[in-house]
Amino acid sequence: MDKSKQKDLDIESDVIHLYSDRDFTQKLKRFRIGGFTDMGRECDRSPPAPSAKEEVAQPKNDNSLRTGTTKSRQNRKIPDDAIIPDTKLTRYLLVKREQDDKSNFLAQAGFTRDNPDQLKSAIRYLADTVEAVEDRSNEYGTFYRVKGQLMGVNNTNLEVITVWLNRKIDNQFQFITLIPNKE
């Protein structure tokens, strides 16, 4: 499997994990993949027609994720109130896994299950200092990537890409995952 397809799968599995979180699931009771329901009845699943102000861009031939819709790319800051779920750090990124293990990568910079708050602070600092680049949109919202150096607790910096979702349902930004930047 090529690297771009693997990145797509990694991010999609993180989105599925995000939507399986209990507290977030409560906000999405009426939402399901493929469309909205109105008191149990299916509603129109066709996407809304673009308004005169919206610009519909042609797909680019690059390595960006391609499972959603494409618009003009925008750079922006991740808001200060963006959510970084503790469980994403303590039950996923800092846990040794057979597939897609990121704990060994993060341990190089001194991040372990004993100091998840320091990892959260490093992710937040990266998001505060580097502009996010719009990646793609789908039924969940718009994904953004922040590429840069994650400042480690042991003075080792890691080249990473953090993925954020601007949720369509409530316009809240949420951290999705961290990927080692091997470019």
* The predicted structure's pLDDT at residue 6: 56
CATH number of 74-180: 3.10.450
* The predicted structure's pLDDT at residue 74: 76
Count of helix runs (H) and strand runs (E) in the chain: 5, 8
d(CA 8, CA 12): 6
pLDDT in tens, 94-103: 999 999 999 9
Q: Which tokens is 146 given? A: 């922040």
Entry pTM? 0.64
* Residue 29 phi, psi (nearest 5): -55, -40
* The predicted structure's pLDDT at residue 183: 79
d(CA 134, CA 76): 8
- The residue ranges of every structural domain in the chain are 74-180
- Residue 125: exposure state from Cβ atoms within 10 A (0-12, 13-18, ≥19): middle
Q: What is the DSSP string of 42-96?
A: EPP-SPPPPPTT---PPPPSSSS--SSB-----EEPPPTT-B--HHHIIIIITS-
* Residue 153 phi, psi (nearest 5): -75, -20
Low-confidence ranges of the chain (pLDDT < 50): 19-70
Running DSSP on this structure, what letter comes out for residue 99?
A: S
- Residue 174: exposure state from Cβ atoms within 10 A (0-12, 13-18, ≥19): buried
- Residue 28: exposure state from Cβ atoms within 10 A (0-12, 13-18, ≥19): middle
* The predicted structure's pLDDT at residue 11: 60
* The predicted structure's pLDDT at residue 170: 97
Q: What is the mean pLDDT of the chain?
A: 75
- Residue 78: exposure state from Cβ atoms within 10 A (0-12, 13-18, ≥19): buried
* The predicted structure's pLDDT at residue 133: 97
* The predicted structure's pLDDT at residue 8: 55
Q: How far is CA 153 from the centre of its chain?
A: 23
* The predicted structure's pLDDT at residue 117: 97
